[in-house]
Amino acid sequence: MDTQQASARQLVDQFGRVHDYLRISVTDKCNLRCVYCMPAEGMQFEPEERHLTDEQIVEVVTVLAGLGVRKLRLTGGEPLVRRGLDRLIARLSAIAGIEDIALTTNGMFFAPQAERLREAGLTRLNISLDSLRPDRFSEITRGGDLAKVLASLEAAERTGYDPIKLNVVLMKGRNDEEIDDFLRMTVHRRLHIRFIEYMPIGHSDAGWKAGYVPLETVLDRCRAMGMAPEPAGDVYGNGPSRNYRLSGAAGSFGLIHPVSDHFCATCNRLRLTADGNVKPCLYWSDEWNVKPWLGDRSGLEELFFRAIGQKPETHEMAKVLTGEDASRLPTVRRMSQIGG
């Protein structure tokens, strides 16, 4: 098969799902140690020489763009730990076929770079913000400074990013009593709060189960506030989120239920880890490394088709809650090592 023929193909799995979205972890390192993402100590980070270089990431994305990938999201770890991220974004945005580049960040380093990243081609932004209380934020992130994150949020609004999404991993006994505060943020600001279920990625111990909160709790809180939630239209790039709006609010909020109500039927994403592994599913351990195929376009294309061909119909995170056995081997990588 020649390159022209291969490039006309699309990344469609055996269940008919078309994959046009790639999440790229540019580093597994992070300046924080969020409780749901990695342990407080003992993490073994990849040496930088094992991370994909800018040139290698550009090569992989160029091949995937030829197979129909149109949207990218840069993740980590914390992506802004990687030096020269604006230069990588500029190169990715110049690839034919790439239409959208988003960033997920903890916001600690974003404010000084907001304009530079936007000029480089960054189109959308997600900021992780799991508490609006400085002491609690520091506890959840194990040392984060809420003031820096809020300054990054203001810089993003000032610079014109749209939409701006705030990712809130909801955890029982840690931040679930702040649901009202997050909802109120959407009333006068054009922000999009995304409440995300706590996932058993890389760990499914009793601590995870004790912290799990079903997201119907958010809708219950709306009603308790006397503010019935209304269905909201799609927010660009919102993927699996079910979107709502408080009556008359400038912003909106969404619920992402990876555990209680999985969205696998519409999954359109692949993941590329910092050390070069393609993961067709976040939860399972299946991975294919791109490094042996760099410099071989047709070899890379076939690797992606092989990975897509092995993608299962669903993950089985909900089985962790009930103690059922999984049908496959769950990943042992933590969220920071995968990129979310």
What confidence tens digit (pLDDT) does each residue in 137-182 have?
Answer: 999 999 999 999 999 999 999 999 999 999 999 999 999 999 999 9
Q: Are 58 and 26 within 8 A, CB to CB?
A: no
Fold of 3-7+19-338: TIM Barrel (3.20.20)
Q: pLDDT, tens digit, for every residue of 262-272?
A: 567 788 999 99
**Local confidence band at 6 (pLDDT 50, 70, 90 cut-offs):** very low
Q: Are 301 and 6 within 8 A, CB to CB?
A: yes
**Local confidence band at 239 (pLDDT 50, 70, 90 cut-offs):** low
201 pLDDT more than 60: no
Q: Per-domain residue ranges for the chain?
A: 3-7+19-338
The structure tokens listed for 52 are 């994909």
Of 239 and 329, the structure prediction assigns the larger pLDDT to 329
Smallest CA-to-CA distance from 108 within 139, 73, 138, 74 is with 138
Lowest mean pLDDT among 104-113, 125-134, 233-242: 233-242
Q: Are 75 and 23 within 8 A, CB to CB?
A: yes
Lowest mean pLDDT among 85-94, 176-185, 222-231, 272-281: 222-231
**Local confidence band at 241 (pLDDT 50, 70, 90 cut-offs):** confident
Across all residues in the chain, what is the average pLDDT?
87
Average pLDDT (1-25) is 78
Give pLDDT, residue 330. 64
Pairing of strands 21-25, 242-246: unpaired
3-state secondary structure of 137: helix
| Chain-centroid distance, C-alpha 223 | 29
| Prediction pTM value | 0.88
Of 197 and 340, the structure prediction assigns the larger pLDDT to 197
Give pLDDT, residue 265. 76
